[in-house]
Chain A
Amino acid sequence: MGRLPRAVTRAILEQPEHLPAALAWARRLGLELRFDEEELALELNLTGPGATTEAPPEPYRISGLLEDFDVLPIIWRYVDPRSGANIGVAAYPRPTGSSVLHGNGLICAPWSRLAYAVEGGIHSDWQDLTDWKTPRPPYTFAPTIADQLDRLYRETRASTGRMAALPVAA
């Protein structure tokens, strides 16, 4: 059960800088951002490079659960691009440079709810989930859905293959 009534979350999402901006951002890039209003969930399919120049491109899917947004940060995950299932590190692109993609299969940024230790993440130094929009230099600052998606999009495009092979489909 969330902290915010879903109607309140939907009203927040309708603000110009949130869902409308995210949908416009996706259109500019030729991407299909899907929003499930009932489930308060987002999905975005992306393609990243293969592990080598000869390898085929890798498919990815990003899932965002928006319950309690924007009091709490979004639950962002890379999931199985075929089924949407949680499959851990195999769902994640292998990062290059300064990255929010943690080797444990986690989006590790102040705007990612699962990065916080209270949600099972690695950051015990980030205490208050409701403080997620406060800048924490030198960490990434991405106060809107589109800013967060843009960061994940760019990291995926700059990746070097996936962290682990996709499991055999059931």
Chain B
Amino acid sequence: MSEEHGQRAEKQTLHLTVYAPKSTEPKTFDWSKHLAVGEAAAEAAAAFGYASGTPSLAKGDEVLDRAKQLVAAGVRDGDTLTLVDVGGGV
């Protein structure tokens, strides 16, 4: 693979840090920027040991739309995100 091709491929991948409320330590993930937020959150939830739920990711106070691609949801390389559950109440 040429260096140029490698750089192009690298830019398609986001290196992200994710915290889950139940864990004192974060985990890191390398995800395609085109991966859906919900799919990324499901992978993170499984990695943190959540057995069920409706996982999503939050960037600061903003809970991201599970249907959007990471890049469209405003996630950038190097971001720190939080795993959240968006199941309903009442």
Contact = CB atoms under 8 A, between A and B. Distances in A.
B88 to A, nearest CB: 4
The SS class assigned to the B binding surface is: loop
Interface residues of A, number: 33
B88 A150 contact: no
Nearest to B24: A24
A88 to B, nearest CB: 17
B58 interface: yes
A76 B89 CA distance: 14
Nearest to A29: B82
A137 B54 contact: yes
Contacts of B77: none
- Residue from B21, B22, B52, B58 with most neighbouring chain A CB atoms (10 Å): B21
Interface of A: 16-17, 20-22, 24-25, 28, 98-102, 107-109, 135, 137-144, 146-147, 149-151, 154, 157-158
B29 interface: no
A102 B90 contact: yes
Nearest to B90: A108
B86 interface: yes
B85 interface: yes
Nearest to A109: B89
Given A135-B51, A135-B53, A137-B52, A143 B22 contact: yes
Contact of A158 (B22, B23, B61): B61
